[in-house]
Structure 1
Amino acid sequence: MTTGRTLRTQFFGADAEHAFRGVIAGLLSGVLTSAVGTSLALAFFTGPLEPHLPAAIGAILASTIVLALAGALFSAIPAVMVAQEIPIAALGIVLSSLIAAGLTPAETLPTAIAAGMLAALLTGALFLVAGQLRLSRYLRFLPLPVMGGYLAGLGWLLFSAGFGTIMGIGPSLDALPLLADPILASQLAIAAGFAAAIHAIQRISSSRIAAPLAIIAGFALFHLVIALAGIPREDLVASGWMLAGIDSSGPLWPPLLPQDFAQVRWDVIAWQAPALLAIPLVSAVALIINLNGIELLAGRDADLDRELRVAGLGSLLAALAMGVPGFQSTTHTALSFRFDAALRSVGVVIALVCTSLLVLGGDLLALLPAPLCAGLLFWLAINFIDTWIIQAFRKYSPLEFALTLGTVLVIALSGFLNGVLFGLVGAVILFVASYSRLRVIGQVLSGRDYHSGVGSRPPYRPILVAHGEEILVLRLSGFLFFGSATQLRQQVQHLLRGKDGRIRHLILDFRQVTGVDASAIQSFSRLFAAVDGAGVQVTLTKIAPEHLARFARSGLPLEGAHVAVIPEFDDALRAAEFEVIGRHAPHVLAHGEAVLHTHLEALLGSGHLAEAIEPHFQRVVLKANETIIDQGAREDDIFIIVSGTARVEARGPDGRRIRLTTLGPGAIIGELSYYLKAPRTASVVAETEVEAWQLSAEKLDWLDAERPQIAIILHRGMARMLAERVSATSRLVQILAG
């Protein structure tokens, strides 16, 4: 019972007044979409197609019927769906090409209707698949300058069609003498004034229904003036004030019978494949823009993927109805919201209005004034050009605006396909130029300031502070292609020259690299050759397996005298540090990994004190994968590693182990638990055989009590070590932030 009541409320509102507002909104939307649809049909069914104008109007009305019903039944907002001017205008370009192909009179209408059905089928399929695969977020990333140029180009075509509705030919020098005809000049002035008035009302008024109401009022005012003047319709048709060529003798649908499809020239349609494929793409852009506007009207987020599926279903049904594509309309949905009638019944009423027109034939459509129909086309053209040219000038970069304007000019001067091709090629060039300017090097770090888990320990730190500039770490980011990889090579060469030959190790961190293409491999080959000549060791680290495979397939060796791959960043940095330390202080490596005394002397600053405290340490040896410290354990012994390496890892809430860093000779571990009297905050596990010296908490407490002078110096050394860690971390944060 509750479900039934909810459905009734969604369709008819909470009370009779609410339902009445829905009917009024549906009637106004039905009249508006019929007038706009007739104007569009009149614009593009010219020349050999002009005798078939009623069939074109019928196809648009039939499309609106099924689209409006689909939106009423399945849209969650609910949004009003009708046949849309953007795909119809794009289809008009296809129809112009079909006419130029020299079809016979028997082939003209079937081929034109089949092209519209195919456009609806392709558009519906794209919407349905995109919605089913939840691809709505990706449709937002279609190249907007190209799509904007295409839509603005449609605006020019709509203007040309409106001009031709009155003058009989498109805007050109040949049309200038016709302006001397006072009737044609007055009709053109009325059309232009009607379009300008609607556009001005649209811009000035904050209400989205002001323009639709002005259109309806304009048509009503025209007929009121004609009625008061008592001018016969025949005279108005003869002088071009009313539409001619609409057969009122029968219904407007169906445009074709089953046997007529045998006359379709599929080969001619196939040649228009690029233009037909562009219709779903530009419709997708327009749909996403419309849905964003509808979200603002509704005051809530819409399920864009669901709305895509609804639009896809509507366009597929329109194809079955021998119609054209359509989708959710911001204008018609705004009309229902303005009347506080966001009801499903609005779509049903629109469908009933269009059905009545189909049944009554051309009797009602023949009442449409030609200047006002042309004015509607002018108004649509103004909207396109204002949105995608004038407003784009303020929103786009100079290059993006140049691409949009260039696309429009090519469409106007050389044709639609050439314009779209120009836009796509320009978009690729613009993308490459823009992406190549992005910083492919996210961070530049020096081995003097940034240390591994081993290099940050005494006695290595002073050596690295003095000579760490020989290590250069570059953290790469983004997609590496020929533009960004070339930028990387040039920046590396600039950095090498700027260091006056002091750099001996170059570490390339790939952890934030999203992809590498074949052209980037060539740039890396040149980079390796350049650093090889400078005597620099290159190490690639944190590189994904698929990127390694790309290097391997290219035949570029990543293992050699001057190039290496080390999976873990800390290991790569430690290897470079040990090489630098071995050249500048070989005695530290020669003795430091085997003798506790060297590390205690570096910690305490005195060999005598080191000798005094050494007897209190106990030697322990751990095999690979043995745990030195276990996270959560309540232990407070302190360890000094003198040889081997160990990893620090933490267990997350889900039990998964996360590697934090690598420790090596000179590392002091466990001191925080001793001073804080808290459980171990992380685990330390031997990676290789580790020799460590253990100072138990009992021994350290004994030193505090019995040998306080030595204990104080030890505590000072620990405090100095912790302070140096904090200072190094602060310095690193400043480097990363800067």
Structure 2
Amino acid sequence: MSVGVSGRPKSGAAPVVPSVVAGLLVGFNLLGQAVALSGLVFAGALAVGLGLSTALLLASCIVATCALTAIPGMPPTAVGALQNVPVAALLPAAYLLADPTAAALSPESRVATMLALLGLSAVVTGVGMLILSALDVGRVVRLMPHPVSAGFLASAGMILILAGLSRIVDAPAPGLQGLARLPVEALPALALTLGLTGAIGLLARWRADLGPFLAVLLAFLAFYGVLSAQGLGPEDARTLGYLPPRSTQEALIGWHPGLFDAISWSFVSGHVALIAAAALIGILGAMLNLTGIELALRTDIETRRALSVTGLTNVGLGAMGGSISYVSSVNTVSMQALGARGPVARIVLLGFLAASLVYAPAIVAFTPTFVATGLLVYIGYTILSRWLLQQYRQQPLADWAISAGIVLVTVVFGILPAIGFGIVAASLIFAISYARLPVVTRLADLNVRRSSVDRGPAQSAVLDREAHRVLTLTLRGFLFFGSVEQLLEHVRAALNRPNRPDTILLDFARVSALDSAALAALQKLDFLARNSQVQIVITEASPAVAAALVRLEALLGPDPAMRFASATDAALEAAEDRLLTRLEAAETGAGARAFLDATLGDAALAQRVLSMMTREEVAAGQRLMACGDRDTDVILVERGQLAVLAPTPDGRMRRIQSLRPGALIGEIASYAGLPRAADVIAETAATVYRFNRSELDQRTRDDPELAAAWHRMIATALSRKHHRTLRMLRESR
């Protein structure tokens, strides 16, 4: 502890005593888990490897804890621990190896093969983590639907409970069938196990960090106190079945290089699916533990670095026969709750585990069986409670039912069918959830979304009146079998209404991809459009989506109702032109004089205004206004088509507007005295009327009435543009 000038501890110094206590208590907890898990996995014919397995599990905790120091953002009190949950997936193989009649293998070969299963699970887990780290998609794994992740973890807890209870009754495999044939002589051991489980639970509710330690300590003291009171010794307890049989302590197998040659690789290859299941659960568990620490301790852990470090650690542990190990949120938070703040607690923890590793065989030999199984059942119950029972009030009932279904499948059929069920459930959850997202984000007729063409008042009025005849649907996201139905429903609704559209535009600019079901749905849209004599235009598809649409074009057959366009604006322009032509309004109200008549409402006055403008014939490609110029000209289109081109950040010119007969341009810069914001060029041969602001000043002095008419015309034109813009903004919300 650092001491200042006054002799008092500095305020920033980490308290030593709480850190020492925290390290010892968490170390005892990890020791208990190692003993319990070893007793579960290495039983029966595997019992000769009990001491070795316990030592390897403790060594896994030590290595995993040391590795955490290399992860940015990891608190100094972080604890790496062996993981019960992934190992639970390997229990079916462990039960086969523990049965002397199930496989013709020597005791050493059985132990070596079980260690190989544990080690390979750790290696596969580590490799998976390294791949996720290299692709930098670790956080994506956290996006697996919570009911599925919770179901996997809760299932592992249930397996530990059933396995612990099955060991008491000496069932051939963990499950309800073995427990149903409960022998009478197993009742005392079962009562002691469940009694200890309950005691641990009660004391844990009092103090989650200290209660389990006290319960196990009291169980040890009570057990050996009763033995002493009855005049019995440890060997008598072994005979009665309350301590591991003495045979498990004779000819114990230790670690040596020759174990590799004793591995039954045929047995291992027959259980690859279990190894994959353990690895999957291990990766999910690691990500959930990282999230738990971040939330509980309000820290931000670098996920990519955490995965790479943990992955390398597990590959190394697996190569030595160790088990899947990574940071434990429960033990890390317990360290903090016990008052540990600096590295002292971790040092004490590592020292305790190292000492326990040396004396692992003796610890296992004198640990009552009901203590090991009771602790294991409690661990399983806490996992089951956290990920299933407590979730009942936190999740929607449908989500909780999925988690419960995974647990039920695990109990009845095993962990592998449960994982298959979970993957199917995850896929269905994704499909249903994604299908609920609005794939059609906006429906707009010509009152809301129109092309960039500026037309005369008469034609604009026609498009306003007939706005329902052109409908634009803006889509986004992934179009697949679950979401494309929304598009069909919107199109059906549009086709069934009395004022149905003549043209439907599908804006694909934000569509990321589409599957074969979406292509079939688009083909169906073509049938619907043909029957309704409506044209459908798909616009602005990305290159990837356009490649898929090529296949659709081949399926549509001759004379389809569906068309394709590279730009939505161009498709809108074409739809408006078709609509005006169909209504015989393409030439109606077009031209400069028509614009003035509609704007001023006085034919004679309109003619006078027109007469003061200069008529010009311009060739295609001729520039009428230049970006940056400060001229004050106003141009009114009589015939032909002009384009407004604005510069882009990369220096190119992009068309932002098209001007048709009756369109007015240049009035804002003329009145505001601003430089031109864009070029205006003639797209076709055109006739225009030009008027200069200096001419207006002269007219104001000589003919105030005519000048007033001009100002009224400009004000009316600006008011119409402003009104249309506001309406489009309001209706697009």
Q: TM-score, normalised by structure 2?
A: 0.88
Q: In the alignment, what sits opposite 1:102?
A: 103
Q: In the alignment, what sits opposite 2:144?
A: 142
Distance apart, 1:37 and its partner CA: 1.8
Alignment counterpart, residue 710 of structure 1, candidates 706, 721, 726: 706
Q: In the alignment, what sits opposite 2:274?
A: 275
In the superposition, relative to structure 1, how do residues 558 and 732 fare at CA in structure 2: closer, same or farther (>3 Å)? Answer: farther
Contact 2:46–2:111, Cα closer than 8 Å, also in 1: yes
Contact 1:59–1:253, Cα closer than 8 Å, also in 2: no
Q: Is the deviation greater in 628-637 or in 269-278?
A: 628-637
In the superposition, relative to structure 1, how do residues 606 and 381 fare at CA in structure 2: closer, same or farther (>3 Å)? Answer: farther
Q: In the alignment, what sits opposite 2:578?
A: 579
Contact 1:126–1:312, Cα closer than 8 Å, also in 2: yes
Distance (Å, rounded) in 1 between the aligned partners of 2:190 and 2:124:
41
Distance (Å, rounded) in 2 between the aligned partners of 1:471 and 1:84:
62
Q: In the alignment, what sits opposite 1:436?
A: 435
Contact 2:49–2:254, Cα closer than 8 Å, also in 1: no
Q: In the alignment, what sits opposite 1:34?
A: 31
Distance (Å, rounded) in 1 between the aligned partners of 2:349 and 2:253:
17
Contact 2:630–2:674, Cα closer than 8 Å, also in 1: yes
Q: In the alignment, what sits opposite 1:153?
A: 155
In the superposition, relative to structure 1, how do residues 17 and 396 fare at CA in structure 2: closer, same or farther (>3 Å)? Answer: closer
Structure 2 residue 542 is matched with structure 1 residue 544: yes
Q: In the alignment, what sits opposite 1:568?
A: 567
Contact 1:247–1:362, Cα closer than 8 Å, also in 2: no
Q: In the alignment, what sits opposite 1:58?
A: 55
In the superposition, relative to structure 1, how do residues 705 and 199 fare at CA in structure 2: closer, same or farther (>3 Å)? Answer: farther
Distance (Å, rounded) in 2 between the aligned partners of 1:421 and 1:180:
38
SS at the partner of 1:322? Answer: coil
* Residues 241-260 of structure 1 aligned to structure 2 (within 5 Å): 241-244=242-245, 254=255, 257-260=256-259
Distance (Å, rounded) in 2 between the aligned partners of 1:684 and 1:268:
80
Distance apart, 1:24 and its partner CA: 3.8
Distance (Å, rounded) in 2 between the aligned partners of 1:687 and 1:47:
90
Q: In the alignment, what sits opposite 1:212?
A: 209
* Residues 450-461 of structure 1 aligned to structure 2 (within 5 Å): 450-454=449-453, 458-461=457-460
Count of residue pairs brought into register by the alignment: 711
**Unaligned 5+ residue runs, structure 2?**
3-9
Structure 2 residue 198 is matched with structure 1 residue 193: yes
Distance (Å, rounded) in 2 between the aligned partners of 1:581 and 1:544:
30
* Residues 5-20 of structure 1 aligned to structure 2 (within 5 Å): 18=15
In the superposition, relative to structure 1, how do residues 180 and 277 fare at CA in structure 2: closer, same or farther (>3 Å)? Answer: closer
Partner AA of 2:196 in structure 1? A
Q: In the alignment, what sits opposite 1:506?
A: 504
Contact 1:559–1:565, Cα closer than 8 Å, also in 2: no
Deviation per CA, 1:518-566: give whole Å up to 9, x if none: 2211111111121012111111111112111112135235995633222
SS at the partner of 2:74? Answer: coil
SS at the partner of 2:466? Answer: helix
Distance apart, 1:470 and its partner CA: 0.9
Contact 1:65–1:354, Cα closer than 8 Å, also in 2: yes
Contact 1:166–1:240, Cα closer than 8 Å, also in 2: no
Distance (Å, rounded) in 2 between the aligned partners of 1:311 and 1:109:
26
Alignment counterpart, residue 663 of structure 2, candidates 646, 664, 667: 667
Q: In the alignment, what sits opposite 1:732?
A: 728
In the superposition, relative to structure 1, how do residues 251 and 237 fare at CA in structure 2: closer, same or farther (>3 Å)? Answer: closer
Contact 1:58–1:252, Cα closer than 8 Å, also in 2: no
Distance (Å, rounded) in 2 between the aligned partners of 1:315 and 1:626:
72
Distance (Å, rounded) in 2 between the aligned partners of 1:112 and 1:598:
92
SS at the partner of 2:442? Answer: strand
* Residues 509-520 of structure 1 aligned to structure 2 (within 5 Å): 509-520=507-518
Distance (Å, rounded) in 1 between the aligned partners of 2:623 and 2:347:
73
Partner AA of 1:542 in structure 2? E
In the superposition, relative to structure 1, how do residues 415 and 636 fare at CA in structure 2: closer, same or farther (>3 Å)? Answer: same
SS at the partner of 2:64? Answer: helix
Contact 2:144–2:426, Cα closer than 8 Å, also in 1: no
Structure 2 residue 400 is matched with structure 1 residue 401: yes
Contact 2:157–2:384, Cα closer than 8 Å, also in 1: yes
Distance apart, 1:123 and its partner CA: 1.0
Partner AA of 1:503 in structure 2? P
Distance (Å, rounded) in 2 between the aligned partners of 1:534 and 1:511:
26
SS at the partner of 2:504? Answer: strand
SS at the partner of 2:453? Answer: coil
Partner AA of 1:713 in structure 2? A
SS at the partner of 2:511? Answer: strand
Distance (Å, rounded) in 1 between the aligned partners of 2:202 and 2:594:
90
Alignment counterpart, residue 135 of structure 2, candidates 129, 133, 136: 133
Distance (Å, rounded) in 2 between the aligned partners of 1:251 and 1:660:
84
Q: In the alignment, what sits opposite 2:81?
A: 82
Distance apart, 1:456 and its partner CA: 6.4
Contact 2:633–2:690, Cα closer than 8 Å, also in 1: yes
**Unaligned 5+ residue runs, structure 1?**
6-12, 202-209
Identity of aligned residues (%): 26
* Residues 311-322 of structure 1 aligned to structure 2 (within 5 Å): 311-322=310-321
Structure 2 residue 691 is matched with structure 1 residue 695: yes
Structure 2 residue 50 is matched with structure 1 residue 48: no
Contact 1:250–1:362, Cα closer than 8 Å, also in 2: no
Deviation per CA, 1:365-409: give whole Å up to 9, x if none: 334333333232222222222232233333444443332222211
Structure 2 residue 615 is matched with structure 1 residue 616: no
* Residues 302-341 of structure 1 aligned to structure 2 (within 5 Å): 302-341=301-340
Alignment counterpart, residue 597 of structure 1, candidates 584, 590, 593: 593
In the superposition, relative to structure 1, how do residues 584 and 691 fare at CA in structure 2: closer, same or farther (>3 Å)? Answer: same
Distance (Å, rounded) in 2 between the aligned partners of 1:449 and 1:361:
77
In the superposition, relative to structure 1, how do residues 299 and 682 fare at CA in structure 2: closer, same or farther (>3 Å)? Answer: farther
Partner AA of 2:542 in structure 1? A
Contact 2:72–2:301, Cα closer than 8 Å, also in 1: no
Distance apart, 1:237 and its partner CA: 3.6
Q: In the alignment, what sits opposite 2:7?
A: none
Partner AA of 1:196 in structure 2? G
Distance (Å, rounded) in 2 between the aligned partners of 1:456 and 1:394:
61
Distance apart, 1:451 and its partner CA: 1.9
Q: Is the deviation greater in 546-555 or in 655-664?
A: 655-664
Distance (Å, rounded) in 2 between the aligned partners of 1:72 and 1:558:
65
Q: In the alignment, what sits opposite 2:64?
A: 67
SS at the partner of 1:142? Answer: coil
Distance (Å, rounded) in 2 between the aligned partners of 1:637 and 1:566:
36
Q: In the alignment, what sits opposite 1:206?
A: none
Contact 1:318–1:324, Cα closer than 8 Å, also in 2: yes
Q: Is the deviation greater in 217-226 or in 230-239?
A: 230-239
Contact 1:469–1:503, Cα closer than 8 Å, also in 2: yes
Distance (Å, rounded) in 1 between the aligned partners of 2:178 and 2:460:
82
Deviation per CA, 1:56-112: give whole Å up to 9, x if none: 212211211211121134454233222122222233345346668735235322221
Distance apart, 1:54 and its partner CA: 2.1
In the superposition, relative to structure 1, how do residues 684 and 326 fare at CA in structure 2: closer, same or farther (>3 Å)? Answer: farther
Q: In the alignment, what sits opposite 1:479?
A: 478
Distance (Å, rounded) in 1 between the aligned partners of 2:300 and 2:30:
26
Distance (Å, rounded) in 1 between the aligned partners of 2:369 and 2:505:
73
In the superposition, relative to structure 1, how do residues 60 and 630 fare at CA in structure 2: closer, same or farther (>3 Å)? Answer: farther
Deviation per CA, 1:212-231: give whole Å up to 9, x if none: 32122222222333455535
Contact 1:44–1:95, Cα closer than 8 Å, also in 2: yes
Partner AA of 1:233 in structure 2? P
Contact 1:237–1:243, Cα closer than 8 Å, also in 2: yes
Distance apart, 1:283 and its partner CA: 2.2
Distance (Å, rounded) in 2 between the aligned partners of 1:663 and 1:341:
74
SS at the partner of 2:457? Answer: coil
